[in-house]
Structure 1
Amino acid sequence: MRRANLVISAAAFGVALLTAANALAFSQIEPTEGRSDSKEGILAVPLPPLPSADAGANRPAPPADDDGQNDDGPGRTDDGETPLPPAEEPESGIGDESHPPSARGGMELAVPLATEIAYGDDGLPAPVRYLREKLIAIAKAGEIEKLRPYIESGEDGTVLSFGDVAGDPIEFLKQTSGDGQGLEILAILRELLEAGHVRVEPGADDEIYVWPYFTQVAIDSLSKPQLVELFELVTAGDYEQMKEFGAYNFYRLGISPEGRLSFFVAGD
């Protein structure tokens, strides 16, 4: 029994001696390149050196896509999509109050289809101006009979209706007047000649001065001031019907450059 205990003790001592020898051998290993001097068994990996100031200049450009553009170039977004081009700058003068409304898109005033709009005697030849003044004076006086000398008959005479006018023209005007005496017609005549006018077909054989200018303007594009002028001639209900019709269709008056009353008629 004692011999067995001695054998076990000797074996244990030998194992302890071998362990100590191995530990001593590991402690004598020389440190190699990249050895960590840190404690607690944490490996310290050396960081790469910081780039110099001109390192970015010598860095090769990233590879280009098929279309020749780099993914990180100014023509690409982070997702690789080409951004939309910036909005175009407005043309010079848009929104500038120093420019007339027609230069800012023509939204404030309706554009006449024939020529510029004029008022009063502006731009009228002497014969046209004379007849206009005579007709206004007759209308103010309420004397419809005095229109007779200026209403011509015959094939090329003054047009008073798109249909046939049977009988006396002055009597026809009285019958079409709401009051039966022609006073309403005279009021309309005066309002027409005091409205704006246009010169239609200038220089042509059929050149003529026409009142009111609404006959030559897109009726659904009138500005507010122009609507006020229109409502001096017609009602708002008439205006709505004109928009449905597509044009001004109330009374109009035309004077030739020679001073002839070409037409005084309602309709289009």
Structure 2
Amino acid sequence: MQTTTRSTSGTLKNRGFATLLWLATAGIFIPGYFISTQQAAALSEIKREELPATPAAPAETQTAPDQAAPPADEQTPSEAPDPDEAEPSQVTPATPHLGEDPNAPLPEIIYDISKLPEPVQNMRQQLLDVARSGDPEKLRALLVTTGDDATQLSVIGLDEDPITFLKDQSGDKNGEEILAIIENLLNAGYVHLEAGTPEEVYAWPYFFGMPLDRLTARQRVELFKIVTAGDYEDMKSYGVYNFYRLGITPEGKWAFFVAGE
């Protein structure tokens, strides 16, 4: 019992001491806690006040009522659009070549070489032989270089050596691409145009004599053997084929080998 009493007394004393210690602690530190909290709040306010103010976003510029843009019909000449500066898509394309009339009867597309007049067959074969030789210089012997019947190699005329010109037009600058084009054209179907007139000619490829919007799916496949789909899209703005074409007269003269309009 005494041990218990002492133990209990000691426990009470310990509890009393703890209680006093807690009270003492509460009496000292709790007020201090509130002071510390108030000081922290004050410091945070000071810091916020001392921070530089964030610049306000610039207000959108607004046109004053008396500065409003005049109606389109009251624009000064300097504000009105210049009719001479039309967008490219509004520019009238150059006059197309043969086959420009969308309502004209379509020419017969011919693949049979035996239907060509013999002089035309001979010139075609000579051109193919040169193309396959890989030597563009051999084209010189097939060209008519003087007079009104001179072989047309450019739509704007030619003032330089014709073989030099063809080489310059070739993507490889040696004239080999031009030879490949000649071979591709002469292996395509052809058309007989302007029969019975001074302009009569056998022309390759047959697309030269046809509006593009009247080509069938099969004919477009044949077209893509000569030009790319991108080229085709560009041509559609003109409505006609305007890549290289080659013509031979019924007498067997090499009449033209040109591209463009």
State how 1:93-242 maps to structure 2 within 5 Å: 113=105, 115-154=107-146, 155-242=148-235
Quote how far apart the aligned CAs of 1:122 are. Answer: 3.7
Distance 2:104 2:138 in 1: 33
* 1:171-194 CA-partner distances (Å, limit 9, x unpaired): 110011000100000000000100
TM-score, length of structure 1 as denominator length:
0.57
Give the root-mean-square deviation of aligned CA atoms. 1.8
TM-score, length of structure 2 as denominator length:
0.58
Distance 2:118 2:249 in 1: 11
Percentage of matched positions with identical amino acids: 50
Distance 2:104 2:123 in 1: 24
Distance 1:120 1:185 in 2: 24
State how 1:32-71 maps to structure 2 within 5 Å: none
Distance 1:147 1:246 in 2: 31
Quote how far apart the aligned CAs of 1:113 are. Answer: 4.4
Partner of 1:246: 239
**Paired residues of 1:195 and 1:212 also in contact (CA < 8 A):** yes
In the alignment, residue 143 of structure 2 is paired with which amino acid? I
**Paired residues of 2:107 and 2:210 also in contact (CA < 8 A):** no
* 1:86-115 CA-partner distances (Å, limit 9, x unpaired): xxxxxxxxxxxxxxxxxxxxxxxx998463
Instruction: Please identify which structure carries the higher helix content.
Output: 2
**Paired residues of 1:254 and 1:262 also in contact (CA < 8 A):** yes
* 1:241-268 CA-partner distances (Å, limit 9, x unpaired): 1111111110000000000000000023
Partner of 2:251: 258
In the alignment, residue 200 of structure 2 is paired with which amino acid? E
Distance 1:112 1:264 in 2: 24
In the alignment, residue 170 of structure 2 is paired with which amino acid? S
**Paired residues of 1:112 and 1:218 also in contact (CA < 8 A):** no
Q: Which protein has the larger Cα radius of gyration, Structure 1 or Structure 2?
A: 1
In the alignment, residue 243 of structure 2 is paired with which amino acid? F
In the alignment, residue 132 of structure 1 is paired with which amino acid? R
* 1:29-82 CA-partner distances (Å, limit 9, x unpaired): xxxxxxxxxxxxxxxxxxxxxxxxxxxxxxxxxxxxxxxxxxxxxxxxxxxxxx
- Structure 1 unpaired stretches of 5+: 1-109
- Structure 2 unpaired stretches of 5+: 1-101
Distance 2:170 2:183 in 1: 14
